[in-house]
């Protein structure tokens, strides 16, 4: 479903809530017109076209009736909003199935809207529920036979509502749960990016597409650029040991980036079912349970790639650094406890901490801290020390599982940044052990990042 269509549907829903408004009728007409035009443009077989046209008209008139009902009762529940989104999914899938049929590819439209059994009583989105969903999705597909299933990303009544509980990433989640239910060899997620890069390719010269990355690294990197894949979706697939491949819709022939756990992290035993003597082959190797691991070639490549160097680098902008200089000659436990509990009470999350003999510095995201709250914190801390807040900072991070416990990377990072004349104000290893971060002035962040990329990743 395109963003344009989502916006249209949300607009229609909002207009239906205004008494006397007829704008939603116009919006539905537009949606109907867009889909009929798309069908006529891309489907040449008359029989198929007529069928798709009929389906589109039916779905749209159903949508209009639904919106009229909303206007009458003057209320729209999160579940009704879900139902409106579902119509959009249905329309898109009808067209795609029609186009495939027209091309001589046997395809079948599958709706997951009613897949959740009314008797299934779940009030929480937990693993139990996801397991249930994967089984239900797989069985919804079981009667497709050899036909290509064209599945709606929307799945109906989840606890809360799909849009509020899961959000716009629900189609990815649906695909992930389907992959799990079907025991797929690979889950492909098509986006408008080639995959995951060593750095933001729009800003860093020489940024390369990564052919492989671990889920831990990928979730550290979701921060930059477009959020490639929802961590939650990733978790479902990773649990089932299914590789995820990110591909670009605009460049179907590209290999994309594969997200897959490390073999050692999986405790994976490489077993070649067809031979007992180890030979170097490029075919995929198999896990004992039959799922494929990365090929040896890819594995070696990845090991080299990870040797003492980061996998990717990123910048996080709009960072504030708060430094508290202790009134006493040294930092006491009590001082630190007081600082952190005050921040905690004000709901301020600290990204990065570094301490010296007499001061503690903390980096935080400026966008989430309110000026008013900050003032309160500063005055609250005035009894224990002198507080200074510097704004306009950035965090430059290097991420990579191969850096685990490597003091060397931090050292090289500092000297590389210093070499281009940029001052490193703070440095710290992230909580995750696969992330080394430092704070620099905002205006130097990209110079620093480029230097780190050139020096440590090339
Ligand atoms: C159009 O599609 C229908 C249904 O799939 C098929 O039976 C028919 O042969 C097709 N007509 C042409 C001209 O290809
Ligand atoms: C790495 O760690 C820093 C500090 O904890 C954090 O701000 C950042 O979001 C983490 N990840 C990335 C990719 O920068």
Quickly state the pLDDT bin for 288 (edges 50, 70, 90): very low
Q: Which tens digit of pLDDT belongs to each residue from 112-127? A: 887 877 666 667 778 8
| Candidates 3.40.1160, 1.10.260, 1.20.1530, 3.40.1000; CATH matching 106-305 | 3.40.1160
How many other β-carbons are positioned within 10 Å of the β-carbon of residue 171?
Answer: 18
Q: Which of 27-31, 159-163, 227-231 has the highest mean pLDDT?
A: 27-31
- Ligand 1 mean position, distance from CA 45 (Å): 6
* Residue 195 region by backbone torsions, left for phi larger than 0, else alpha for psi between -120 and 50, else beta: left
- Write out the E strands in 400-444: 426-429, 435-441
Mention every residue, 6+ apart, whose C-beta is less than 8 A from residue 170.
Answer: 153, 154, 155, 162, 163
In contact, 167 and 82? CB cutoff 8 Å: no
Query: Ligand 1 in contact with 308 (CB < 6 A)?
Result: no
Query: Ligand 2 in contact with 59 (CB < 6 A)?
Result: no
| Chain centroid to CA 418 | 33
Ligand 2 pocket test, candidate residues 313, 430, 448, 453, most atoms within 8 A of CB: 430
Per-residue pLDDT at 276? 32
| Ligand 1 atom 12, closest CA | 45
Per-residue pLDDT at 240? 92
Phi, psi of 253 (to 5 degrees): -80, -10
* Residue 280 region by backbone torsions, left for phi larger than 0, else alpha for psi between -120 and 50, else beta: beta
The full DSSP string for 179-248 is: HHHHT-S-EEEEESSSS-BSS-TTTSTT--B-SEE-HHHHHHHTTSSS--S-HHHHHHHHHTT--EEEEE
- For the whole prediction, is pTM greater than 0.95? no
- Token pair listed for 94: 């009808």
Residue count (the chain): 458
Per-residue pLDDT at 290? 40
Give the CATH H-level superfamily of domain 312-457. Answer: VC0802-like (3.30.2130.10)
Ligand 2 atom nearest the C-alpha of 316 is 14
Q: Environment class of residue 234 by beta-carbon count within 10 Å: exposed (0-12), middle (13-18) or buried (19+)?
A: buried
What is the arithmetic mean of pLDDT over 300-311?
62
Ligand 1 atom nearest the C-alpha of 101 is 5
| Ligand 1 atom 13, closest CA | 45
What is the arithmetic mean of pLDDT over 231-246?
88
In contact, 424 and 440? CB cutoff 8 Å: yes
Mean pLDDT score of the chain: 83
- Token pair listed for 402: 């191969």
Q: Which tens digit of pLDDT belongs to each residue from 215-238? A: 888 877 765 444 567 777 888 898
pLDDT at 456 over 80: yes
pLDDT at 325 over 80: yes
pLDDT at 164 over 80: no
What is the arithmetic mean of pLDDT over 74-85?
82
pLDDT at 283 over 50: no
Tell me which residue has tokens 């046997």: 106
Phi, psi of 311 (to 5 degrees): -85, -40
C-alpha 309/C-alpha 294 separation (Å) is: 21
Ligand 1 pocket test, candidate residues 39, 44, 47, 147, most atoms within 8 A of CB: 47
C-alpha 449/C-alpha 395 separation (Å) is: 10
Of 20-34, 55-69, 260-274, 370-384, the range with the lowest mean pLDDT is 260-274
pLDDT at 184 over 60: yes
Cα angle, residue 407 at apex, residues 404 and 411 outer, rounded to 5°: 130
Q: Is 1-104 CATH 1.20.1070.10? A: no
C-alpha 403/C-alpha 409 separation (Å) is: 7
Q: Which tens digit of pLDDT belongs to each residue from 262-276? A: 755 443 433 333 333
What are the domain boundaries of the chain? 1-104, 106-305, 312-457
What is the arithmetic mean of pLDDT over 161-174?
75
The H or E element containing residue 377 is helix 371-381
- Ligand 2 mean position, distance from CA 431 (Å): 9
Query: How many CA atoms does the CB half-sphere of 420 hold within 13 Å?
Result: 20
C-alpha 76/C-alpha 136 separation (Å) is: 28
């Amino acid at each position: 479903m395109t963003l344009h269509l989502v916006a249209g549907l949300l607009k229609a829903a909002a207009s239906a809530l205004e008494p006397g408004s007829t704008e939603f009728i116009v919006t539905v007409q537009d949606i109907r017109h867009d889909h009929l035009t798309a069908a006529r443009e891309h489907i040449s077989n008359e029989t198929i076209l007529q069928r798709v046209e009929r389906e589109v008209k039916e779905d749209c008139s159903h949508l209009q009736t639904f919106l009229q009902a909303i206007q009458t009762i003057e209320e729209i529940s999160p579940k009704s909003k879900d139902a409106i989104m579902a119509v959009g999914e249905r329309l898109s899938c009808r067209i795609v199935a029609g186009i495939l049929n027209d091309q001589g590819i046997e395809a079948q439209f599958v709706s997951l809207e009613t897949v959740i059994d009314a008797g299934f009583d779940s009030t929480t989105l937990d693993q139990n529920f996801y397991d249930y969903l994967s089984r239900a999705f797989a069985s919804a597909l079981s009667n497709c036979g050899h036909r290509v299933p064209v599945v709606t990303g929307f799945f109906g009544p989840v606890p809360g509502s799909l849009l509020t509980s899961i959000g716009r990433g629900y189609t990815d989640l649906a695909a992930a749960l389907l992959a799990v239910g079907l025991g797929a060899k690979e889950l492909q997620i098509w986006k408008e990016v080639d995959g995951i890069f060593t750095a933001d390719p729009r800003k860093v010269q020489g940024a390369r597409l990564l052919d492989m990355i671990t889920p831990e690294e990928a979730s550290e990197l979701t921060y930059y650029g477009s959020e490639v894949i929802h961590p939650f979706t990733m978790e479902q697939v990773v649990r089932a040991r299914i590789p995820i491949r990110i591909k670009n819709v605009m460049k179907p022939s590209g290999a994309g980036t594969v997200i897959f756990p490390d073999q050692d992290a999986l405790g994976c035993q490489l077993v070649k079912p067809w031979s007992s003597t180890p030979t170097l082959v490029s075919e995929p190797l198999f896990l004992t349970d039959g799922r494929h691991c990365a090929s040896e070639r890819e594995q070696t490549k990845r090991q080299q790639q990870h040797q003492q160097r980061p996998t990717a680098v990123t910048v996080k902008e709009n960072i504030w650094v708060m430094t508290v200089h202790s009134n006493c000659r040294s930092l006491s436990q009590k001082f630190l406890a007081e600082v952190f509990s005050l921040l905690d009470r004000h709901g301020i999350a600290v990204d990065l901490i570094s301490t010296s003999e007499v001061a503690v510095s903390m980096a935080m995201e400026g966008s989430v801290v309110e000026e008013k709250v900050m003032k309160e914190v500063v005055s609250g801390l005035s009894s224990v020390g002198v507080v200074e807040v510097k704004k306009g900072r950035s965090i430059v991070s290097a991420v990579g599982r191969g850096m685990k416990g490597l003091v060397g990377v931090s050292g090289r990072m500092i000297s590389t940044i210093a070499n281009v004349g940029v001052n490193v104000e703070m440095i710290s290893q992230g909580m995750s052990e696969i992330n080394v971060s430092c704070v620099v002035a905002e205006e130097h962040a990209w110079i620093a990042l480029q230097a780190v990329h050139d020096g440590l990743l090339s």
